[in-house]
Amino acid sequence: MSQPANAAAVAAEDASRVAARLRKIIEGHRLSPSQRRIARYLLERPAEAVFLTGNDIAEAVGISQPSVTRFAFALGFTGFPEFRDHLRAALRDGQDAAAEPTELNAVQAMIDSELRNLELLRDGLADPGRLLEVAAALAASRPLPVIGLRVSAPLAHLFGYLAAKAHPDVRVIDAPGSAMEDRLSRAADAGAAWALAFGLPRYPRELRDGLVWARRAGLRVALVTDHSVGALAEHADVVLEAPVSSQFAFDSQAAPSVLCAALVHAMLEALPTREQASIEEFENSAAERRLFLPD
């Protein structure tokens, strides 16, 4: 190998080590949208990352220099210089390169973080007892209010859409404030015993207020969220946890989506046989009406 080619290979290996260390630092930390932009900027140019100043990054990303400092703080460093020194240390040893598969590009690495989240969810359900107990309680609640605001609203609607195939009275609530309070109170008056809430980051203050109101109305609350402790969890009777990846521009919810599907499955299994039969009736009706295209 010629000297220039060898130098290029060494530079590529150094960049891989820096990128691996940066991914390792970021993983597990909750970053704001501007902080994620900084992280993506550095991951896209690891060879330059160890030489950039806070001002360089602020100008390139279009943010203030204090925002770069807060980025370093969020990752556990006293400032950007310490963060940069930690990256430079990756050039002096190959431990991180061995720990992280260097063949992954930035997008693959983000997806890899979701695979780890799914493994955490799977391992956390080794004993499905609590999931099954919650599912049985939700199945017995008539009606069943399902709460989801902002980014959590799609999961609430997904659960509601699927659960309504068999549960006779699922009520999805995606509007905050007095409208939510009214609907929760009416559900409680109609005989509801439980409410299911989806609370994923970023956590709306209005959702916390809704959980407080639900319990005041006499409902027990099951909460699907990414952490078993926190501002929302203290207002729930039971918490089902599914980790969320913050390495994308917006949080990815692969694990919460799988937990949602698992909870629906368990709830349908807990319903009386006559209500489970409604799913088969729908399938027969759909086939007669040709609602769906053939596979």
Going from N- to C-terminal start, the domains of the chain cover 3-103, 116-289
- On whether the 3-103 domain is CATH 1.10.10.10, my answer is yes
Is the model's pTM score more than 0.85? no
- pLDDT band of residue 97 (cuts 50, 70, 90) is very low
Q: Which CATH architecture has domain 116-289?
A: 3-Layer(aba) Sandwich (3.40)
Share of the chain above pLDDT 90, in %: 44
Confidence of residue 219 (pLDDT cuts 50, 70, 90): very high
HEC string for the chain:
CCHHHHHHHHHHHHHHHHHHHHHHHHCCCCCCHHHHHHHHHHHHCHHHHCCCCHHHHHHHHCCCHHHHHHHHHHCCCCCHHHHHHHHHHHHCCCHHHHHCCCCCCHHHHHHHHHHHHHHHHHHHCCCCHHHHHHHHHHHHCCCEEEEECHHHHHHHHHHHHHHCCCCCCEEEECCCCHHHHHHHHHHHHCCCCEEEEEECCCCCHHHHHHHHHHHHCCCEEEEEECCCCCCCHHHCCEEEECCCECCCCCCECHHHHHHHHHHHHHHHHHCCHHHHHHHHHHHHHHHHHCCCCCC
pLDDT in tens, 22-59: 888 887 677 777 888 888 888 888 888 888 888 889 89
pLDDT given for residue 98 in this prediction = 46
